[in-house]
């Protein structure tokens, strides 16, 4: 464990801070299981502050949420990503993760102006006719200011905080290391693929740090909805935008969280709910590129009952295959087809071992609960919760894109219900599903699928002789390998390595004792207290080695208690 922990030594100050916060929130046993106290802790002095009295009596989800908030922007973002993993965490954990807030004190306006000028390579007065120093929004990664372009266009200027990239990179390195330790020390957690979750989080956070990537996502959404007058996506002004600064149209409308202002603005809540749902469903089922965080802070209602989306830092992508699977699931649900629904869910199992017979029975029980509920009156959020509970019971971990999708759907239905208590998302889904199912069986679509299948079959058959020849060549030349992925094999190898080191040290110590004893019988060379100095030095080294061996064996025995 020491070797792996030393990898993170360049981030030692931050690692010390993380471990200290875990301990202060009563999560010290978790840190101890990761091996931090036995290695890095002794070097950094992690345990200077004991956990507050009564902290351990607070529920673990609450303590973890508080620890994530104390750890700063990267870990807050991690908690927000974890809030999408409804397939891994039960509702009480998800509820705590959803409470994580990104608000942080704003940077001074003068600092922001200097940062923009440095990033764009020209004075601020050449870029904007006016610039408001007071931010209209401040988060952990960036803050937003209102400004005006020389032609009078009102814009929102999103500026990345200085130094945030280096800090996030350090935190991501530590998280990757901790995920590795979790899989190593908690065998049951390995099933939930913590390293894969951290990898997904890293990709998402790095995209969010790149404001140019957010701008490209906004352009993609703008093209997707160019023909829809009911949806507005802010335009990006690339002449004054880059990875650190994003200048976009200022959206002046009613925030989705201020429903009390809708009547004065002459807006129809029911129409807004349906148009917003249609927009997100089009993103998911038609375009395969969706806003993954459509919470009230990222949605505005405009005159003419139009919808505007902002903050495209977190987006999701769905392949054609995944979209077909979603449509199959919804179609099976509409027809109460238990077998089709079971088959679709099993497509998402991946490498997870599942008792298919018991799984099919539980799906049947789930479908029976909704047997007499009209599809248009089905609570999608409750249905997803029930499906996720079933998935958790069977130890299934969803692919990351699906976890993000289901979270977005739950958020969307909640937003629609705030506008219209009689809003049911599945009622909006039905026309999309019917259209997509009919499109599958059009002659042109059938012909295209047939051509693809024939092409794949011919390519596979044509490649078989070459694959066989290559395999036989590898066998003849001794290059044929079989890769075995055995759980904890690397940990077992390190244990053997440690045991070998202790055995070698014991042999060396024994040789030193024997050699030193022989040297003591020789009456020659320098002496100390009447005894040969070389022999005494050998005994001293043997004593140190013996103490090290005893301490090492004692620590190993404590690890297995």
Residues annotated catalytic, as ranges: 293
Query: How many other β-carbons are positioned within 10 Å of the β-carbon of residue 74?
Result: 24
Pairwise CA distance, residues 310 & 214, whole Å: 10
- Note whether 322 and 252 are within 8 A (CB): no
Tokens describing residue 403 = 């976890």
Beta strands 231-232 and 306-309, pairing class: parallel
- Note whether 270 and 230 are within 8 A (CB): no
- Note whether 248 and 156 are within 8 A (CB): yes
Residues in the chain, overall count: 561
Pairwise CA distance, residues 364 & 341, whole Å: 9
Determine the Cα angle at 432 with ends 429 and 434, to 5°: 105
**Helix and strand element counts for the chain (H, E):** 23, 13
Tokens describing residue 346 = 């099993």
In degrees and rounded to multiples of 5, residue 232 shows phi and psi of: -120, 130
3-state secondary structure of 254: strand
Q: Which residue has the tokens 């989080």?
A: 201
CB proximity list for 335: less than 8 A, separation 6 or greater:
none
Q: Which residues pair with 248 in a beta bridge?
A: 156, 236
How many angstroms from the chain centroid is the CA of residue 332?
30
CB proximity list for 148: less than 8 A, separation 6 or greater:
128, 129, 130, 131, 154, 155
- Note whether 97 and 80 are within 8 A (CB): yes
How many angstroms from the chain centroid is the CA of residue 356?
28
- Note whether 540 and 547 are within 8 A (CB): no
Q: Helices marked H in 139-262 — which ranges? A: 164-185, 187-190, 194-209, 211-224
What is the helix (H) or strand (E) element at residue 302, kind and residue range?
A: strand 299-302
- Note whether 26 and 51 are within 8 A (CB): yes
Q: Crossing angle of helices 338-346/356-369, nearest 10°?
A: 130
In degrees and rounded to multiples of 5, residue 97 shows phi and psi of: -60, -35
How many angstroms from the chain centroid is the CA of residue 276?
26
Percent helix, strand and coil across the chain, each to the nearest 5: 65, 10, 30
Burial of 213 from C-beta contacts in 10 A (0-12 / 13-18 / 19+): middle
Considering just the CA atoms, what is the radius of gyration of the chain in Å?
31
Pairwise CA distance, residues 322 & 290, whole Å: 13
């Amino acid at each position: 464990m020491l070797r792996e922990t030393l990898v993170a030594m360049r981030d030692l100050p931050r690692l010390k801070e993380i471990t200290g916060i875990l301990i202060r929130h009563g999560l010290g046993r978790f840190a101890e299981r990761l091996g931090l106290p036995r290695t890095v802790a002794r070097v950094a002095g992690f345990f200077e502050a004991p956990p507050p009295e009564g902290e351990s009596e607070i529920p673990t989800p609450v303590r973890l949420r508080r620890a994530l908030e104390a750890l700063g922007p990267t870990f807050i973002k991690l908690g927000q990503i974890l809030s999408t993993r409804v397939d891994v965490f039960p509702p009480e954990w998800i509820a705590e993760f959803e409470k994580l807030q990104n608000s942080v004190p704003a940077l001074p306006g003068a600092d922001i102006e200097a940062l923009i000028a440095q990033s764009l390579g020209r004075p601020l007065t050449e870029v904007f006719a006016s610039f408001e120093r007071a931010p209209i929004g401040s988060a952990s990664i960036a803050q937003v200011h209102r400004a005006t372009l020389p032609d009078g266009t009102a814009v929102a200027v999103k500026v990345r905080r200085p130094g945030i990239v280096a800090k996030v990179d350090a935190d991501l390195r530590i998280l990757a290391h901790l995920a590795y330790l979790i899989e190593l020390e908690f065998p049951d957690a390995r099933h939930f693929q913590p390293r894969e979750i951290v990898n997904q989080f890293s990709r998402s956070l790095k995209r969010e740090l790149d404001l140019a990537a957010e701008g490209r996502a906004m352009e993609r959404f703008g093209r997707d909805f160019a023909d829809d007058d009911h949806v507005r996506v802010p335009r990006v002004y690339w002449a004054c935008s880059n990875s650190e600064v994003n200048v976009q149209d200022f959206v002046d409308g009613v925030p989705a969280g201020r429903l009390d202002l809708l009547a004065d603005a002459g807006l129809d809540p029911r129409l807004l709910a349906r148009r917003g749902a249609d927009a997100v469903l089009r993103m998911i089922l038609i375009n395969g590129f969706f806003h993954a965080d459509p919470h009230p802070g990222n949605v505005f209602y405009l005159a003419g009952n139009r919808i505007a989306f902002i903050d495209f830092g977190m987006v999701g992508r769905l392949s054609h295959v995944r979209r077909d699977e979603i449509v199959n699931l919804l179609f099976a649900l509409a027809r109460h087809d238990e077998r089709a629904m079971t088959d679709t869910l099993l497509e998402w199992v991946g490498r997870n071992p599942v008792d298919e017979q018991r799984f099919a029975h539980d799906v049947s029980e789930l479908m029976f609960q909704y047997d007499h509920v009209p599809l248009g009156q089905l609570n999608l959020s409750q249905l997803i919760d029930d499906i996720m509970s079933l998935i958790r019971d069977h130890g299934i971990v969803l692919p990351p894109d699906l976890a993000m999708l289901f979270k977005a759907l739950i958020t969307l239905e909640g937003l629609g219900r705030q506008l219209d208590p009689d809003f049911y998302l599945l009622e909006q889904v039905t026309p999309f599903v019917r259209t997509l199912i009919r499109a599958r069986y059009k002659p042109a679509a059938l012909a295209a699928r047939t051509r693809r299948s024939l092409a794949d079959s011919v390519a596979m058959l044509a490649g078989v002789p070459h694959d066989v020849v290559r395999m036989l060549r590898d066998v003849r030349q001794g290059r044929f390998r079989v890769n075995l992925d055995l759980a904890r094999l690397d940990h077992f190898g390190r244990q053997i390595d440690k045991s070998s080191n202790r055995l070698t040290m014991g042999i060396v110590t024994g040789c030193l004792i024997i050699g030193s004893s022989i040297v003591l019988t020789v009456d020659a060379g320098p002496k100390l207290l009447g005894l040969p100095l070389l022999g005494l030095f050998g005994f001293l080294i043997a004593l140190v080695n013996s103490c090290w061996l005893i301490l090492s064996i004692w620590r190993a025995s404590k690890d297995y208690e």
